Amino acid sequence: MYLYKGIVEYDGTNYSGWQKQINSNSIQEEIEKALEIILREKINITGSGRTDSGVHAIEQVFHFTYKSEIDKKSTIKSLNSILPDDICIKSLELTHNNFHSRYSAKKRTYLYLISRRKNVFYDKYSWTIFGELDFQRLKEIEMLFIGKRDFTSFCKAEDEVESKICNVSYSRWFNKRDKFLYFISADRFIHGMVRGIVGLSVEFARGRLSMDEVNLVIENKMRSPLWAPSKGLILYKVEYQE
């Protein structure tokens, strides 16, 4: 058997998320259906992680096994010709047998986009916030999330994962004209984590929370007071050890 690594980008607006679910369409299912048509065999793919309903990806990684070598260039072209317009295979390559798209990943980076005005081109990919939002307060809070710690405060209640420990290595806000961009990198993320962090940060930037109250939420594992909408969240990059 041959092991293949693929990279896909997608607009998650019309999907229930990455993972296959009963009675709802997913990114994983669309790719598997396309692969079955091209390779004439049922194919199961595994992604680097699950993105929620409405979340997008610039670089989602997946892997699958197949009985023989394939022409990668023509397979990518064929897949993209039958996949929906909001899903695109960016690359496909033969990889070593020990590779696993999820467990071999060393770092994942997410981008969250906030628009400060109505923008018809960014509406599906950003959270539009009008009114007071102090960028300097966003900068003041960004470093609080760096380090290896328990992120229970930012975990959706329905997430049954045992460990809420994540090691965040990067957390930065950027001000680009009429948009605020937030990048966060970690070894792993739990369900709702980035959206919870952004929500808490926005409440602080609006002046609705003090720094003491923010620290109380984090240290006492209280739930974030606000979850940012999924449409502004983008899986930006997944990195592997060479």
What pLDDT sits at residue 162?
Answer: 74
In a domain, 210, yes or no: yes
In a domain, 100, yes or no: no
Residue type, 34: A
Same domain for 121 and 144, yes or no, is: yes
Same domain for 129 and 78, yes or no, is: no
Q: Among residues 94, 123, 142, which one ends one of the domains? A: 94
Same domain for 212 and 132, yes or no, is: yes
What pLDDT sits at residue 156?
Answer: 78
Q: Which domain holds residue 81?
A: 2-94
What pLDDT sits at residue 158?
Answer: 60
Tell me the pairing of strands 233-240 and 56-66. parallel
CATH for 11 = 3.30.70.580
Same domain for 178 and 215, yes or no, is: yes
Same domain for 232 and 159, yes or no, is: yes
- pLDDT tens digits, 153-179: 998 766 667 789 999 999 999 999 899
Same domain for 20 and 126, yes or no, is: no
Q: Is 177 left (phi over 0), alpha (psi -120 to 50) or beta?
A: left
What pLDDT sits at residue 67?
Answer: 93
Residues sharing a CB contact under 8 Å with residue 57, sequence separation 6 or more, in sequence order? 8, 9, 10, 12, 18, 27, 51, 234, 235
In a domain, 101, yes or no: no
In this structure, are residues 205 and 26 in contact, taking their beta carbons and an 8 Å threshold?
no
Q: Among residues 61, 94, 127, which one ends one of the domains? A: 94
Helical axes 27-39 vs 72-82, angle rounded to 10°: 120
What pLDDT sits at residue 93?
Answer: 96
Q: Among residues 72, 94, 116, which one ends one of the domains? A: 94
In a domain, 177, yes or no: yes
Buried b / exposed e over 89-118, threshold 16 CB at 10 Å, is: beebeebeeeeebbebbebbbbbbbbbbee
In a domain, 62, yes or no: yes
Same domain for 78 and 151, yes or no, is: no
Positions of E strands within the chain = 2-10, 46-47, 56-66, 87-94, 105-115, 127-128, 147-150, 165-176, 179-186, 233-240
Same domain for 43 and 135, yes or no, is: no
Q: How many structural domains is the chain composed of?
A: 2
What pLDDT sits at residue 241?
Answer: 83
Same domain for 152 and 220, yes or no, is: yes
Query: Which residues of the chain carry a pLDDT beneath 70?
Result: 157-160, 242
What pLDDT sits at residue 159?
Answer: 60
Residues in the chain, how many?
A: 242
In a domain, 165, yes or no: yes
In a domain, 99, yes or no: no
Same domain for 228 and 115, yes or no, is: yes
What pLDDT sits at residue 21?
Answer: 85
Same domain for 62 and 123, yes or no, is: no
Any idea which residues carry the catalytic annotation? 52
Same domain for 110 and 174, yes or no, is: yes
What pLDDT sits at residue 157?
Answer: 66
Coil, helix or strand for 218? helix
pTM as predicted:
0.95
